[in-house]
Structures are given as C-alpha cells and as structure tokens.
Amino acid sequence: MTLIDRFLRYVSIDTQSDAAAEGSPSTEGQVVLLRLLADELQQMGAADVRMDEHGYVTATVPATRGCEDEPVIGFLAHVDTSPDAPGAGVKPQIIERDGDTIITSDGTTLLGADDKAGVAEIMTAVEWLLAHPETRHGRVRIAFTPDEEISRGVDRFDVEAFGADFAYTVDGGTLGELQYENFNAAGARVVIRGVSTHPGDARGKMVNALRVAGEFDSLLPVDERPETTEGYEGFFHLMRVEGSVAAAEMEYIIRDHDRVRFEWRKALLEEVAAWLNARHGAGTVTVATEDQYRNMREVLELHPEVVERARRAMRAVGVEPVVVPIRGGTDGARLSFMGLPCPNIFTGGADFHSLSESVSVGAMRKAVEVIVEIVIKSGVG
C-alpha cells in the first residue's frame, strides 16, 4: 500500500473525539481505526502488536542482529481528529501544484491530516524497516493513541511498559518543523454571583453578573489574546460565557512559554477578581485555575541528544530543520514529564482544525525518510 493510499484509507474513517463522552477512546470511530492499524501491523510482521483496554495500539520493530543493545526509540501519533469542525464524510481532493501533490478536503469537513498524516507516515516507515532486515538498527516501539485533541491522549499511557528510552511524536506541521518547546497551559473557571432585582427598583441593589463578566474580561490585557499574538507570545483566551443577571460563568485558557509569565497570568486573574470583589462585594467573583501541561523544553534541555538526532536526520535527507515553538501542546509534552523525552517532528500538514486543512505529499514522504533515518542511525557505530 502506498503512503497516499494509506492516508486516504485512514481519513475515510470519522475519528473525531468527544470531550463530553466518558471512557477511552471517547468515540467508536477511533476504535475502528485503531483496530485497523493493529491488523495492518500484524500483517506487516511487526512484533508485540497489542491493543489494550484503553485503545492504545503498540507494536515493535525488533532490533537487527548486533544492535540489540542500542537505545530503544519510540514514535507516536494520535488517531483522533478535532471536534472543532465537521469530520464525517471526508471527500479528499488531490491537487497538483508547483511540482507537489496537495491533498485537501472539499471544504465542508476537516481533512484529518492532524494526525492521520503522522499515522500514515509511521506505518509507512515501519513497513519499510520490516521489509529491509539487512538495515542495522535498534529496537523501535510504535504507539497510536486516542483522544489527544481533548487532552486525554496519554492519560492512561504506560510509559514503563512502552519501554522506549526516548521518542518522537509525529504531529507537527509543515516541512522541516522540529519542536521541543510548547506552551505552559492552564484552564480557569470564573464564577460570578450577582444580585437580581426588578430593574425598575434596582438602584444600589442590583449586581448584574453579566456586566461583571464583561468588566472582568476588559481588565485583562487586550493585546494578549490569541488573535493578537504569535510566536512566543502568551495569551488569555475566553472560551465560554454563560449566565444571567443573577449568576454567570466564564471559562479561559491561559498559555505562555515562559514559566514566570505563566505564573503571572494566573495571579493576574486572582488580582482582577479581588478588585471586582472590592467594587461589588465580597464573594462576587471567584477564580479556580488548573494546570493542564508544561513546557517540555524543561525536560528536553536535559536530553539535547534527542533533539539533535532529529536535526541530523532531517539534514541527512535534505530537509533543513525549522525550529519553532508549539503554540499549543502535544502528547509529547506530557510524555516528557512522565519520563519519556519526546520532541515533535513535522507531518507536512497545514491549517489544522479548519475546513482548509491540507497536507503536502512531498513533505509526507520526507517525514517517512526522517523517521527511517532517525532509526537506522541507532545501528551505526
């Protein structure tokens, strides 16, 4: 099966995750694709193929003779697609453009390149390695995970059982992207208790929770929002507002690459709440924050050789590394803090989570070459 055929097969399955659902995987479509991948790995001749009760599919490419003592390298990709846009009934469009082949949807759904491009690339690399036993390399571990898009991707992942010394998520964007730092992330819930009275007799009595919600948001920096920031700039992002005069609730996500600025952002929410409570009465506004993930650079700075291996592999296959920060998170960020150093490499995709999502087939093929190069260099010595 070619790389393109494999990718088109995977995107035909609706695997959107669902944050409202319980269990893992959160949707049946993910189960369908995960079982398909396990079957394909068995047919390729991979070892230790397993799908556990949480939906994780793992497998092994055994070390070749004489390379059994080399480090064990892992590669991971997630099978779910974002719930931010329609994901069922994908109709891929294949376009020849400037010497490359570009795949898009028809504009009514996601394509699913995030992260089925990464899944297809890993599977293609595994097939190549198993078909070339003469190529020297150490043991390789593979994992496909559910529910990354709803931040549950590695909730139940057993790092010790996976048994890799380090790993790479294949979940990046355009050609050459190499990522080893991401946002520190937290969620914040702001609860506002108002006082409802008849509007004709409200003077000095009413506290309109909806207006207090507006005040709260207006007191945060207006130029530190997703729509006004880029690169290493952090932000406050208002995700949801619900309520009435009597009560309102707001949800924010807080993001910053810098740990000090990240802690300042959380503290600022508390300061705003305190100011509003002084203005409208004690207990009017309460804030609860919860950390979600941390910047994996903290871990990967202790393992520079893991990033350098990917950098060398890219250059060996004619791809110049483009080191960019992740303006979000990946399973690799959490895995790094779980004891598995795990930077992120490109897939060739663009405009993820949108109806204009696309992927470059040329970049996908280079991603396969990079994966293979990372692996075979473990057998050189």
Positions marked catalytic = 80, 148
- d(CA 31, CA 360) in angstroms, rounded, equals 27
SS3 assignment, position 109 = coil
- d(CA 116, CA 318) in angstroms, rounded, equals 24
Quick check: bond before 25 cis, omega within 30? Answer: yes
Tell me the backbone φ, ψ of residue 93, rounded to 5 degrees.
Answer: -115, 125
SS3 assignment, position 249 = strand
The token duo for 337 is 């803090």
Burial 232-263 (b: 16+ CB within 10 A, else e): ebbbbebeebebebbebebebbbbbbeeeebe
Tokens 């945060």 belong to: 220
**Terminal C-alpha separation, the chain:** 33
Half-sphere exposure of 325 (CA within 13 A, CB side): 18
- d(CA 264, CA 172) in angstroms, rounded, equals 29
Quote helix, strand, coil % in the chain, to nearest 5: 35, 25, 40
Q: Which of these, 244, 29, 63, 195, lies nearest to 136 by C-alpha position?
A: 63
| Cα angle value 149/153/158 (rounded, 5°) | 175
CB–CB of 160/141 below 8 Å?
A: no
User: Strand pairing of 184-193 and 140-145?
Assistant: unpaired
Tell me the backbone φ, ψ of residue 222, rounded to 5 degrees.
Answer: -70, -20
SS3 assignment, position 12 = coil
